[in-house]
């Protein structure tokens, strides 16, 4: 599929944000010398830089959303009762209405739900199939005794390959596992939509439907990673036959109907700063989830969230499925990506939902993967411009559980993640120019050496030195 320019696709004005700004937060840029000191102090890991040392913060879209006036008003309506807060019931109703799951277990964020689901649905030694891994998701699956198996289509592992639904599951890979090990060897399919690690790439409705049919035949459950399922719905509406006239809300509901439940990081799609949930259709599993939520998160009517957080979230869900909002959201991501493409800067294609991913291996062809090109690129971009991004390559991939060897992912990416409703088009221009300036001097840059490596999720806290 050919990516059209924003102008061709939407017309420049048609992705304009359907809101105006009511409150502002000052940002400023510290000097290059100060950034050099900050970067060294942070061990060349952008997760360890203080937010005040950052100019434009594209580390993540997680919990960095700007809330609406309605959500701020909702904060004042928090019912901070320990048990049975009215805000929980608002949240439960919103999830039932928009995602369609019968039962809701609230959690403090996505990984809280992943922990509970992994513990109740995986038996030691079972496979968990996923359309590419996600860091926290795979770790919880492994800690629960599962063996993660990647079943995404091959195209997803090639950053330059164009495919309208690069997040799709390769059904033949699932069938092969069933044929070789039997259906009972598979705990469940973990279906992510969109696929973060592949570049925010969507899954088609057809693929979800066919996966559902296959799994039904063998009695295998599907659990959705619904973190960016609304962004996924936008791509279905745009690219898949028969969906152009359906609303995002209709598409989301149908998509979720092909799954047995979902884990949710509400810090992404749902326009909140904190929160998550586990949605389930099976009563027995729900009861097990309720049993564990009180161990790890909090009572089953708050799960680690304050009443006001749950109110914010229930309002955020409704705002997230509005078509004009999502058009502006993805329009802004594309605007940045297309500026970079116009300048010949290598990025993952097609441009995904929540971020523009720089292809660090192509950006720094002289830096081998063992010297962390994507980590280097994130560090250099901060140094040169004050723009914060994050590594999504060999550092994020971590080590194999069985052998302790490094994974060597074929994608070595640096993610410019766009917070929702936070930055303007002028900020995107500055980011693009910053990347361009760095690209122009790219052959002068040297890689990194890891000098501290934590055991779990090393990308968060690892430290590096310049070679
Ligand atoms: C962020 C994220 C998670 C984990 O959620 P947290 O709220 O950060 O714990 C899971 N899956 C995907 C795809 C994510 O992007």
pLDDT digits (tens, 9 = 90+) for 376-429: 999 999 999 999 999 999 999 999 988 999 999 999 999 999 999 999 999 999
Do residue 141 and residue 240 come from a single domain?
A: yes
- Nearest-angstrom CA–CA distance, 161 and 154: 10
Which residues, other chains included, contact 54 with Cβ-Cβ below 8 Å and sequence gap of 6+? 382, 386, 387, 388
Number of domains forming the structure of the chain:
2
Backbone phi, psi, residue 134, to 5°: -120, 145
**Closest ligand 1 atom, CA of 136?**
4
Residue 1 belongs to a domain: no
- Please give the distance, rounded to the nearest whole angstrom, from the Cα atom of residue 270 to the centre of ligand 1: 12
Do residue 288 and residue 350 come from a single domain?
A: no
Stretch 271-279: mean pLDDT: 98
Handedness of CA 423, 427, 433, 439 (dihedral sign): negative
Q: Note if 424 is an active site residue.
A: no
Do residue 51 and residue 89 come from a single domain?
A: no
Of 268, 421, 445, 458, the catalytic one is 268
Count of CB atoms situated within 10 Å of the CB of 365? 12
- Shortest-distance Cα residue to atom 5 of ligand 1: 110
- Nearest-angstrom CA–CA distance, 353 and 202: 8
- Please give the distance, rounded to the nearest whole angstrom, from the Cα atom of residue 136 to the centre of ligand 1: 7
Residue 371 belongs to a domain: yes
Which residues, other chains included, contact 436 with Cβ-Cβ below 8 Å and sequence gap of 6+? 340, 343, 345
Residue 154 belongs to a domain: yes
Do residue 102 and residue 19 come from a single domain?
A: no
Q: In a mutational test of the pocket of ligand 1, which residue from 106, 137, 140, 265 has the highest number of ligand atoms less than 8 Å from its CB?
A: 265
Q: 10 pLDDT band (50/70/90 cuts)?
A: low
- Among candidate residues 212, 193, 215, the one with its CA nearest the CA of residue 204: 193
Q: Note if 268 is an active site residue.
A: yes
Do residue 255 and residue 118 come from a single domain?
A: yes
What is the model's pLDDT at position 4?
A: 52
Give the model confidence (pLDDT) of 152-186 as tens digits.
Answer: 999 999 999 999 999 999 999 999 999 999 999 99
**Closest ligand 1 atom, CA of 192?**
13
Do residue 331 and residue 430 come from a single domain?
A: yes
Asked if the model's pLDDT at residue 5 lies above 70, the reply is no
What is the model's pLDDT at position 1?
A: 44
Last residue of a domain, one of 258, 288, 320: 320
Which residues, other chains included, contact 418 with Cβ-Cβ below 8 Å and sequence gap of 6+? 58, 61, 329, 332, 333, 336, 354, 355, 356, 428
Which residues, other chains included, contact 15 with Cβ-Cβ below 8 Å and sequence gap of 6+? 6, 327, 328, 330, 331, 332, 334, 335
Instruction: Enter the tokens of residue 273.
Output: 């700063």
Structural domain for 392, as ranges: 6-61+323-466
Do residue 154 and residue 222 come from a single domain?
A: yes
CATH code for the domain of 457: 3.90.1150.10
Do residue 225 and residue 360 come from a single domain?
A: no
Q: Is the CB of 136 under 6 A from ligand 1?
A: yes
Which residues, other chains included, contact 261 with Cβ-Cβ below 8 Å and sequence gap of 6+? 101, 117, 221, 223, 224, 278, 279, 280, 281, 282, 285
> From residue 195, how far is each of 83, 207, 211, 307 by CA, in Å?
35, 14, 16, 30
Stretch 15-33: mean pLDDT: 96
CATH code for the domain of 301: 3.40.640.10
Do residue 313 and residue 331 come from a single domain?
A: no
Of 267, 392, 420, 445, the catalytic one is 392
Instruction: Enter the tokens of residue 462.
Output: 């690892």
Beta carbons of 402 and 414 less than 8 angstroms apart: no
Do residue 156 and residue 252 come from a single domain?
A: yes
Last residue of a domain, one of 261, 294, 320: 320
Asked if the model's pLDDT at residue 9 lies above 80, the reply is no
Do residue 370 and residue 292 come from a single domain?
A: no
Q: Is the CB of 227 under 6 A from ligand 1?
A: yes
Q: In a mutational test of the pocket of ligand 1, which residue from 60, 62, 273 has the highest number of ligand atoms less than 8 Å from its CB?
A: 62
Q: In percent, how much of the chain has pLDDT > 70?
A: 97
Helix axes 425-440, 323-342, angle to 10 degrees: 20
Asked if the model's pLDDT at residue 368 lies above 80, the reply is yes
Q: Is the CB of 137 under 6 A from ligand 1?
A: yes
Last residue of a domain, one of 292, 320, 348: 320
Residue 159 belongs to a domain: yes
Q: Note if 111 is an active site residue.
A: no
Q: Note if 82 is an active site residue.
A: yes
Beta carbons of 98 and 317 less than 8 angstroms apart: yes
Give the model confidence (pLDDT) of 118-150 as tens digits.
Answer: 999 999 999 999 999 999 999 999 999 999 999
Q: In a mutational test of the pocket of ligand 1, which residue from 132, 141, 227, 228 has the highest number of ligand atoms less than 8 Å from its CB?
A: 227
Q: Is the CB of 62 under 6 A from ligand 1?
A: yes
Give the model confidence (pLDDT) of 331-343 as tens digits.
Answer: 999 999 999 999 9
Of 133, 188, 223, 459, the catalytic one is 459
Do residue 128 and residue 255 come from a single domain?
A: yes
- Please give the distance, rounded to the nearest whole angstrom, from the Cα atom of residue 203 to the centre of ligand 1: 17
What's the length of the chain?
Answer: 467
Q: Note if 392 is an active site residue.
A: yes
What is the model's pLDDT at position 402?
A: 86
Instruction: Enter the tokens of residue 389.
Output: 């991004």
The number of C-alpha atoms within 13 Å of 415 and in the hemisphere containing its C-beta is: 24
Residue 369 belongs to a domain: yes
What is the model's pLDDT at position 14?
A: 80
- Shortest-distance Cα residue to atom 6 of ligand 1: 110
pTM summary value: 0.95
Q: 2 pLDDT band (50/70/90 cuts)?
A: very low
């Amino acid at each position: 599929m050919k990516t059209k320019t924003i102008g061709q696709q939407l017309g420049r004005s048609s992705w304009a944000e359907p809101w105006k700004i009511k409150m502002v937060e000052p940002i400023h840029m510290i000097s290059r010398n100060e950034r050099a000191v900050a970067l060294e102090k942070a061990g060349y890991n952008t997760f360890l830089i203080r937010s005040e040392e950052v100019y434009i913060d594209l580390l993540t879209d997680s919990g960095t959303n700007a809330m609406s006036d309605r959500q701020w008003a909702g904060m004042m309506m928090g019912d901070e009762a320990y048990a049975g807060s009215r805000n929980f019931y608002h949240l439960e109703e919103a999830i039932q209405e928009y995602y369609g799951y019968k039962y809701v277990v609230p959690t403090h964020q996505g990984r809280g739900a992943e922990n509970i689901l992994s513990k109740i649905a995986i038996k030691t030694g079972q496979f968990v199939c996923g359309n590419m891994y996600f860091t926290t998701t795979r770790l919880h699956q492994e800690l629960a005794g599962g063996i993660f198996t990647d079943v995404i289509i091959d195209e997803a592992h090639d950053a330059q390959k164009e495919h309208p639904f690069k997040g799709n599951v390769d059904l033949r890979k699932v069938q092969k596992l069933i044929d070789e090990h039997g259906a009972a060897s598979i705990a469940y399919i973990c279906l992510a939509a969109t696929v973060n690690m592949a570049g925010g790439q969507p899954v088609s409705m057809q693929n979800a439907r066919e996966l559902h049919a296959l799994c039904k035949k063998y009695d295998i459950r599907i659990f959705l990673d619904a973190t960016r399922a609304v962004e996924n719905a936008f791509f279905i509406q745009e690219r898949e036959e028969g969906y152009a006239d359906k609303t995002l809300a209709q598409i989301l509901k149908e998509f979720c109907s092909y799954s047995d439940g979902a884990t949710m990081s509400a810090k992404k799609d749902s326009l909140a700063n904190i929160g998550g949930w586990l949605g389930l259709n099976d009563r027995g599993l729900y009861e097990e989830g309720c049993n564990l939520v009180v161990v790890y998160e909090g009572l089953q009517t708050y799960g680690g969230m304050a009443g006001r957080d749950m109110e914010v979230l229930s309002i955020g869900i409704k705002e997230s499925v509005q078509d004009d909002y999502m058009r502006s959201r993805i329009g802004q991501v594309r605007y940045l990506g297309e500026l970079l493409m116009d300048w010949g800067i290598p990025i993952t294609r097609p441009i995904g939902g929540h971020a523009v991913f720089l292809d660090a291996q192509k950006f720094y062809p002289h830096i081998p993967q063992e010297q962390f090109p994507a980590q280097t690129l994130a560090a250099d971009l901060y140094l040169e411009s004050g723009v914060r991004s994050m590594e999504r390559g060999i550092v994020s991939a971590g080590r194999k559980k069985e052998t302790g060897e490094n994974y060597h992912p074929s994608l070595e990416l640096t993610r410019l993640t766009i917070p929702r409703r936070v930055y303007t088009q002028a900020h995107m221009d500055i980011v693009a120019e910053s990347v361009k300036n760095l690209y122009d001097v790219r052959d002068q840059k040297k890689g990194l050496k890891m000098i501290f490596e934590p055991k779990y999720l090393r990308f968060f806290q690892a430290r590096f030195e310049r070679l």
